[in-house]
Amino acid sequence: MVESYLQTYFPVSGEKPRAVVPILESKFRQLQETGSEAELFFMNTFRTIERLKDGTLEDARLFGDGYDFQITLAPAYVLAEVKGVRGSRGGIRLTEKEFLKAKEFKDDYCIAVVSQLEAVPRISVFFNPLEVLTLSRQTITSEQTYYSSPARRW
């Protein structure tokens, strides 16, 4: 990725740039990397957030339930959704599941935005995010094509 960046923004005169491997150009991959970096930062720094400092972090990312982490604060808990922004400015998107969980859990749900990932990361936390953030509803309609084989003995 660094090589691709340097070739794009600082080309060497007379040198033919090497082709970039398709996986490095994937927009989805870039989003995944940003999200993963933000989540890792959150896991390592969540105790700096006053309300969460005595909590126990449980990873819920693979469950797809509308939040990334559950922080247990006996006898209560907070659900946390982590969003990453490469620079100091940028927007975030919530899935329908994330929006509905935020609506259901209100003050027990937070969005942690980790920004400035390319410099010194900074975390901003919003409890009851639907009350404190301005969000506009956007709908994307897409068609998905798939290919399947007939049933057979494998």
Q: List all residues 6 or more positions away from 47 whose beta carbon is below 8 Å from its beta carbon.
A: 53, 55
- How far, in Å, CA of 22 to CA of 4, rounded? 11
Contact 127, 120 (CB under 8 A): no
Q: Quick one: average pLDDT of 36-65?
A: 95
- pLDDT confidence bin for 140, thresholds 50/70/90: confident
pLDDT(6) > 60: no
What per-residue confidence (pLDDT) applies to 142?
87
Place of tokens 């989805």: 28
Q: What is the pTM (predicted TM-score) of this model?
A: 0.75
What per-residue confidence (pLDDT) applies to 102?
98
pLDDT digits (tens, 9 = 90+) for 62-72: 999 999 999 99
CATH architecture of 32-132: 3-Layer(aba) Sandwich (3.40)
What per-residue confidence (pLDDT) applies to 23?
54
- pLDDT confidence bin for 135, thresholds 50/70/90: very high
- How far, in Å, CA of 8 to CA of 19, rounded? 11
Write out the chain in H/E/C secondary structure.
CHHHHHHHHCCCCCCCCCCCCHHHHCHHHHHHHHHHHHHHHHHHHHHHCHHHCCCEEEECHHHCCCCCEEEEECCEEEEEEEEECCCCCCCCCCCHHHHHHHHHHHHHEEEEEEECCCCCCEEEEEECHHHHCCCCCCCCCCCCCCCCCCCCCC
